[in-house]
Amino acid sequence: MYTQALNSQDSAAHTAKEDPQAEARFQARIDAEEKIEPNDWMPAAYRRTLTRQIAQHAHSEIVGMLPEGNWITRAPSLKRKAALLAKVQDEGGHGAYLYAAAETLGTSREEMEDQLLSGAAKYSSIFNYPTLSWADIGIIGWLVDGAAIMNQIPLCRCSYGPYARAMVRVCKEESFHQRQGYEIMLALCKGTPAQKAMAQEALDRWWWPVLMMFGPPDKDSQHTESAMRWKIKRFTNDELRQKFIDATIPQGHFLGLTFPDPALKFNDTTGHWDYGDIDWVEFKQVVAGNGPCNRQRMAQRRAAHEAGGWVREAANAYARKRQQRAAMSIAAE
Amino acid sequence: MTDKSWPLWEVFIRTRNGLAHRHVGSVHAVDATMALHAARDTYTRRGEGLSVWVVPSASITASDPADKDMMFEPTATKIYRHPTFYEIPDEVGHM
């Protein structure tokens, strides 16, 4: 998801040997559940993995504003519009907390922004799917944010202090997002047959892409081992996916909706829901840039960045003017 | 892009419960006024605070984590600084 970055392999050029004593002390601190803070010694690979992970998480929040922003002007009531505006603002805020946390590792926000805009950095695959109906806004809150919460609650105990603290704030706010989404779904499902059909159609389109948010199955995820050892990640992709499915199926049934998976069945032996095969070819295509909206999202982000250029220039010019005036008035005294 | 990077400011918020200002994160801004506005928008969307401080990050002097033993070890041996060091008979009651 938001931890999809943890699934990509560190490049071979970066496997320089660390001081084994320092590394052992570092691991001992992690094992003792101590938090690692910005100025503490850390292995270069830990710093790199976290920078990539937190930056991708921040990028996901920022790009995630686009699919929902698409419906702000068309929200069906003032109440829904106010809630959606507040939610999209929150996503921007989450991006800001996360960029701030990533910067403590030594990469500037400008560099991270450039990496997003140049396409060098990734963001969550889910935001490359379109929001075609109002029900999609309900689905995003209920399922996309629901999946995000499942992933982010363990991140509140991440070994890196600034990331863990940012996640505490994010998780508090995500709870509003999920509830407002589920309420939209409830209203549609209790509404006219056409509204209910709209809700079902949205679930049919989003269910599988949401399950892909948790990343590839454990057997194909090479990067999990070090992320677990460093306590960046506390649960594997498949564990989190299963937790999410178990929590979500009863909520969907309460709405009277059907999940688009004929293999979905409660397993009395394991106490979990069994589910069908996920189309990992589609996932790889979306991550590689070939999802339904990848090009549109990037074009919108770049356009927004360029269109905001005059604001950044004006702010700099104003700050310079004020500094010069202050210097002149001191000189005049 | 020609814009130079904006300075970093650390944000501190005092909550309504009367505790001291507490560090919550950081923002980028060209000056203190803009930093205050950005801090308000970023860190107080739900009535989290009654007062905000912003401080240029470059103005903070921090202790070096490598020195933490030298800095803090001396207090570990001074257990007589803690109330539990002193024995008070039970009959005296809570003190």
pLDDT profile of chain B (95 residues), mean per 10? 73 89 93 94 88 95 83 82 91 91
From the DSSP assignment, how many helices (H) and strands (E) are in chain B? 2, 3
Domain assignment present for B3: no
Domain assignment present for B53: yes
Contact B45 A318 (CB under 8 A): no
pLDDT, position B1: 35
Domain assignment present for B69: no
Average pLDDT for residues A2-10, to the nearest whole number? 61
pLDDT, position B5: 79
Question: Which residue in A179, A157, A317, A173 sits closest to A251, CA to CA?
Answer: A179
Average pLDDT for residues A222-238, to the nearest whole number? 87
pLDDT, position B4: 65
Domain assignment present for B25: yes
Query: pTM of the predicted model, to two decimals?
Result: 0.89
Biggest alpha carbon–alpha carbon distance for chain A: 84
Sign of CA dihedral A190, A194, A200, A205: negative
Contact A315 B27 (CB under 8 A): no
From the DSSP assignment, how many helices (H) and strands (E) are in chain A? 14, 2
Contact A97 B42 (CB under 8 A): yes
Angstrom distance (rounded) from CA A105 to CA A53: 12
Average pLDDT for residues A188-199, to the nearest whole number? 98
Angstrom distance (rounded) from CA B59 to CA B61: 6
Domain tally, chain B: 1
Mean pLDDT of chain A: 92
pLDDT, position B2: 39
Average pLDDT for residues A181-203, to the nearest whole number? 98
pLDDT, position B18: 79
Q: Which domain holds residue B53?
A: 8-62
Helix A237-255 × helix A193-212 angle, to 10°: 170
pLDDT, position A253: 97
Nearest CA in chain B to A302: B1
Domain assignment present for B50: yes
Asked if B70 is an interface residue toward chain A (Cβ–Cβ < 8 A), one would say no
User: Cβ contacts (< 8 Å) between A315 and chain B: which residues?
Assistant: 6, 29-30, 34
| CATH classification of the domain holding B15 | 3.10.20.520
Question: Tens of pLDDT along A276-317?
Answer: 999 999 999 999 999 999 999 999 999 999 999 999 999 999
Strand duo B51-56 + B22-28: pairing: unpaired
Cβ pair A230, A164 in contact under 8 A: no
Identity of the residue in A89, A103, A316 whose CB atom sits nearest the CB atom of B4: A316
Identity of the residue in A109, A169, A309 whose CB atom sits nearest the CB atom of B28: A109
Predicted-complex ipTM score: 0.80
Per the DSSP assignment, residues forming a β-bridge with A38 are: none
Domain assignment present for B88: no
Domain assignment present for B83: no
Q: In the structure, what pLDDT confidence band is assigned to residue A111 with cuts at 50, 70 and 90?
A: very high
Q: Choose the mutation target among A29, A36, A39, A305 for the interface with B, i.e. most B CBs under 10 Å.
A: A39
Question: Which residue in A204, A28, A44, A215 sits closest to A124, CA to CA?
Answer: A215
Q: In the structure, what pLDDT confidence band is assigned to residue A12 with cuts at 50, 70 and 90?
A: very low
Domain assignment present for B56: yes
Question: Which residue in B29, B46, B57, B40 sits closest to A312, CA to CA?
Answer: B29
